[in-house]
Structure 1
Amino acid sequence: MSIFLSLLLLFFTVPVSPSHTPDRYTKSLPSFHHKPREYFELAPPLPSDFLVPSCSRQILRHSFANTINSPPFSIRSSPPSDCPSPWSHVALEFRAECRGEQYDRIAGLWLGGAELLRTSTAEPTKCGIFWKVRKDITRYSSLLSRYDLNLTMMLENIVNRVSTGVYHVTVNFLYYKYNTVKLPSMIPDPKLYRVNTGQGLEGLYEPPADFIIPISDRGDKGFWFRIDGESDFHSKSIPIPRNTYRAVLECMLVNKKVHRIGFGVSEGISYWLVNANLHVWVDHKSRKVQAKPVVYNTPRLKIKRKEDFKLLDGSFKVEAERKAVFVGWVKSSLGNFTTVFSLNYKLKNSLSFQNNGAYKLVKQKIKATREVKVLNDLGAVISRVGVRRRYPFVVITLTLPGPEEEEEYDSDGWMLVKDHSVLSGAATTRQSFSYRDDFRCYSRTVKASDGKLISDDTTPACFSSV
């Protein structure tokens, strides 16, 4: 009998194309600041941000210079002896700094082949930049407690006469025991927060899985699969225990046989870096569980294309949509639970050319919704997690005649470009982030002008619906 293990494939893929000759070299804008500048990202605080770590360890410290086509950096990892597992929280802190001329790179961090972090670097200035990223990695506790695994980082960077920036990276693990800390009145109990809330679909990993099986490449060029096109397909065979009652990955299982899980990218061009982690929970009171898929509806990607051109002026338009619904039940010693997963993804993109191609306008909208519900044997919803995301994007490029091919780009700002160097420019950015669930609200709005932060408003209380 085929058995259905919830819940969904959770991995983040980023198209990237590092090469020996990048398609653009941009010289950083002249800076009037002599000190390195800090970059930061809008994101909700982690539950552990309100706690004091029981202990911390520097796991990795390395400088990534001319690392293109080189193997990744790897070092042995082990849990701390002064605060062993179990932990209430574990946080990964990624710090990086760079100075000089460089452009963005994709980086990956793996523990025993399981991806902990996928990120991209920021473009530095002559005076230098630095930034910090924190991620809750409590879900990887089964790996973090082991002594026989390597921590591996891949960051393919290019250093030459033009691109001079070297990325200096430090990675720390922060461990938190089940201690009691007085929190502000508007901040919920972190234990309640960790079980019931979290950014995106974090709640699906509670409690941490018994096993984590990497679905990844060999690791000599990073543990991600490199997918070079739509016809390129990579897979890996893995054994899954018969008493598995939950898994964070869509999979069809038959007894204790080896199962092959593969990845491809629809309408993909070279190249994408893809891998995944299979989190597996087993029923320790049963040698075998019962399960069955009820609905498996995953129609093909719908794409509409339209173009209209006269000489150099015209437009391209693309619309795409994908929907999917999966329903299945699992009966174990914990009970009989039904999982319902739905996905809806829409994209609209248009590219227009005017004035003999001198004026270019790009408009793009992406909407993505995901929902996971778990029902008991009476049909009552006992868990529900939903995520809605929107990605609007507008870029205007105007090419003006000049004695040395000067170009001016107008989006939310402008740049004056000569050859490969940015001579001058200005920009204003406003970004807002809002989060709300049954237990808390959080919103933050920042505004920057010419690289300076001019306003930063944070609201941790609920005043209106998001």
Structure 2
Amino acid sequence: MTTSSAFHRRCLLLLCLCFTLLFHFHSCAASPRDLRFTAEDIAAVEAVLPSSLRQRQAKNTFFEVARPLRPPRGSSGPCSTLLLSHSFAFTFTKPPVTAAYSPPSCLSDAAGGGGGGARAVSLAVLEWRADCRGTQYDRIFGVWLGGAELLRGSTAEPRPGGVTWSVSKDVTKYASLLAAGNSTLAVYLGNLIDDTYDGVYNADLTLHLYFRRAARSPTASSAPADRVVPVSRSLPLNDGLWFVVDNTTDIESTRLTVPPNAYRAVLEVYVSSHNFDEFWYMNTPDQNGPFREVTVHLDGDVVGAVWPFPVIYTGGINPLIWRPITSIGSFNLPSYDVELTPFLGKLLDGKEHELGFAVTNAQKSWYVDANLHLWLDPKSSATSGGVIAYDAPKLTGKIVSNSSDGIDGRYDATASRNITATGWVRSSRGNITTTFTQRLTFVHTNVVSDKGSAQAINQTTAADTEVSGDGPHTQQVHQSFPLYIFLGGDGSGTSSQRLMRRVEIGLDETRSGGGAEESTSTLHNAQTAAAEVVLRDDQVVGASWRMHQVYEYGGSDGGCYSRNVSSIGYDVLFDHNEESCAGTRGR
């Protein structure tokens, strides 16, 4: 089969996949990789691009739009330390790359030689810089320190001339871990090398630290945890430290103990979807449908849920769309917080407790792990607590089909879940009651038309999370993840065809809380992208793609940022950004 006909066949399989949401047709059973293009596919497209767009010898820079990280006024630094430099060639099923970690000397210097280095940190930034030349798929990678995950991302798919990208992540919340004693840094990037895919990922990992004035310290509501306990697998491994969930009945767990003087606990969950569930939001009923959630289990009880943002990796749907502006969360996957403070009374008994994860409707594979952030009472050797109320009804949801011929029609899926827990903790701060509430809804519509040749997916996940009570750690968070995907084409059965993809994806968030130090922030992050490939007599004769992204962040502390950027092909058409609160939404 020639390169162009292979490309044509895969595109037809994509269209065939479009109308299988609620029915499985063996004649067009597509594998998960059919929502990805091979090296031959991309080469066929590159070959017909205008010479100004091909630039085959030039190294491209791909980027994910994010808010710049700025230290608070008056901070000193940065104090920068190269943690790791490595070339990831054939690393699949091999152990993670490790390096010995010792806290940089500037941490103890900032604390005047005392033990308060972590509290002196005003901003900690973990920077990942990487490049790759040749041909390669995108790969998932993770970074762990002492078993706690600090960063998860996907790599960029390179062009023959090479690609470079970087990620800067705020890791201030891990200050106590960074300032702790010697530990092990581990990085896993499962890359494959063969006769076709020869791209090697070269990466540098650097820690940048900034320090506040000695006279100032973080407020009670903003201070990072005193201890970060990993909830992950332990080295040695031939994979990442994440747990791997492969089906809907699988519960992956570990056992841990909590220090006796803890007064607050927050579980930070990392999650990513792969293999048969990489495109879970497009899955058919025989693939367990389009809804997924990660449930958090404490000694067998569901105490929280994560309804994940639909991260599209740089090779997903159509990799051209994500060049040079990558999809939201692709280079820096989000993590999700579950407040466990109401359950501290159960955890403070000095015994081991089982903390685990399951994925509703899961197929192979989901990578899940977490970090347990604990705040400790320095004036008490032991705190106490108890659970006052706990209610976690079962998930509700359904799928409704409306089709006259079993192909074209409308297919709807809905789901909802509510979880509430209230508990008290007695420490030197007094007797504080905390209530954690989650209200989650999911609405999904799939419209199939033109005898199965077109599919439009419209989906929204909404998550309302509230932490309330008489302590300083109150918070209200509302998140909404809208997603629209269109797969279709025209000219089927003729010598000339257009294969089209359109993606609209967004992340809207409002946050408020902090007790007497109440602060608010809003985020609107939206992408609209489209790609078109033109075939004539089974030969690729043209291709085009475009991306427009609007990012608007507004904070009550004045930390605002807006960016409006658009690209056509590999060229950035315009890129306007402003670091002020003028023009931001939701102020």
User: 1:285 and 2:379 equivalent?
Assistant: yes
SS of 1:141's equivalent? helix
- Please name the residue that 1:14 is paired with: none
- Please name the residue that 2:480 is paired with: 389
Q: 1:166, 1:375 → 2: CA distance?
A: 53
- Please name the residue that 2:59 is paired with: 36
User: 1:119 and 2:153 equivalent?
Assistant: yes
Aligned-pair CA distance for 1:265: 0.8
Larger RCO, structure (CA 8 Å, separation 6 or more): 1
- The one-letter amino acid of 2:545's match is A
Aligned-pair CA distance for 1:437: 3.5
- Please name the residue that 1:432 is paired with: 550
SS of 2:42's equivalent? coil
Alignment match of 2:210 (pick from 176, 187, 212): 176
Deviates more, 1:415-424 or 1:339-348: 415-424
- The one-letter amino acid of 2:251's match is F
Q: TM-score, normalising length from structure 2? A: 0.66
User: 1:314 and 2:435 equivalent?
Assistant: no
SS of 2:360's equivalent? coil
Aligned-pair CA distance for 1:417: 7.1
Closer/same/farther in 2, CA of residues 417 and 223 from structure 1, 3 Å limit: farther
- Does the 8 Å contact 2:418/2:440 carry over to 1? yes
Closer/same/farther in 2, CA of residues 457 and 371 from structure 1, 3 Å limit: farther
1:230-269 alignment runs, 5 A limit:
230-249=248-267, 250=340, 251=343, 252-269=346-363
Closer/same/farther in 2, CA of residues 153 and 395 from structure 1, 3 Å limit: same
User: 1:449 and 2:465 equivalent?
Assistant: no
- Does the 8 Å contact 2:143/2:149 carry over to 1? yes
Closer/same/farther in 2, CA of residues 268 and 420 from structure 1, 3 Å limit: farther
Alignment match of 1:226 (pick from 244, 248, 258): 244
1:363-382 alignment runs, 5 A limit:
363-376=458-471
- Please name the residue that 2:318 is paired with: none
Q: 2:481, 2:392 → 1: CA distance?
A: 22
- Does the 8 Å contact 2:462/2:478 carry over to 1? no
1:56-135 alignment runs, 5 A limit:
56-84=80-108, 85-86=117-118, 87-135=121-169
Q: TM-score, normalising length from structure 1? A: 0.82
- Please name the residue that 1:140 is paired with: 174
Paired residues, number? 426
Q: 1:208, 1:320 → 2: CA distance?
A: 34
- Does the 8 Å contact 1:54/1:83 carry over to 2? no
SS of 1:265's equivalent? strand
Structure 2: 5+ residue stretches without partners: 1-30, 47-52, 109-116, 268-339, 503-528
- The one-letter amino acid of 2:98's match is S
Q: 2:490, 2:388 → 1: CA distance?
A: 56
Aligned-pair CA distance for 1:305: 0.3
Q: 1:131, 1:161 → 2: CA distance?
A: 25
User: 1:415 and 2:532 equivalent?
Assistant: yes
Q: 1:133, 1:214 → 2: CA distance?
A: 22
Q: 2:202, 2:539 → 1: CA distance?
A: 24
Closer/same/farther in 2, CA of residues 405 and 242 from structure 1, 3 Å limit: farther
Closer/same/farther in 2, CA of residues 114 and 367 from structure 1, 3 Å limit: same
Q: 1:256, 1:292 → 2: CA distance?
A: 14
Q: What is the CA deviation profile of residues 112-161 of structure 1, one whole-angstrom value per residue up to 9, with x for unaligned ones?
A: 11000011112222222211111121222222224431111111122223
Q: 2:97, 2:127 → 1: CA distance?
A: 18
Q: 1:53, 1:262 → 2: CA distance?
A: 39
- Does the 8 Å contact 2:561/2:577 carry over to 1? yes
- Please name the residue that 2:200 is paired with: 166
- The one-letter amino acid of 1:344's match is R
RMSD of aligned residue pairs (Cα, Å): 3.1
Closer/same/farther in 2, CA of residues 421 and 148 from structure 1, 3 Å limit: farther
Alignment match of 1:212 (pick from 216, 228, 231): 228
- The one-letter amino acid of 2:59's match is P
Q: 1:404, 1:226 → 2: CA distance?
A: 45
Closer/same/farther in 2, CA of residues 195 and 161 from structure 1, 3 Å limit: farther
- Please name the residue that 2:456 is paired with: 361
Aligned-pair CA distance for 1:374: 4.3
Aligned-pair CA distance for 1:421: 10
- Please name the residue that 1:27 is paired with: 42
- Does the 8 Å contact 2:126/2:168 carry over to 1? yes
Deviates more, 1:98-107 or 1:115-124: 98-107
- The one-letter amino acid of 2:455's match is K
Q: 2:155, 2:499 → 1: CA distance?
A: 25
More helix by share: 2
SS of 1:391's equivalent? strand
- Does the 8 Å contact 1:374/1:384 carry over to 2? no
Deviates more, 1:53-62 or 1:432-441: 432-441
Q: 1:340, 1:457 → 2: CA distance?
A: 42
- Please name the residue that 2:430 is paired with: 335
Aligned-pair CA distance for 1:95: 0.9
Q: 1:140, 1:108 → 2: CA distance?
A: 16
Closer/same/farther in 2, CA of residues 172 and 323 from structure 1, 3 Å limit: same
Closer/same/farther in 2, CA of residues 76 and 19 from structure 1, 3 Å limit: farther
- The one-letter amino acid of 1:427's match is W
- Does the 8 Å contact 1:38/1:130 carry over to 2? yes
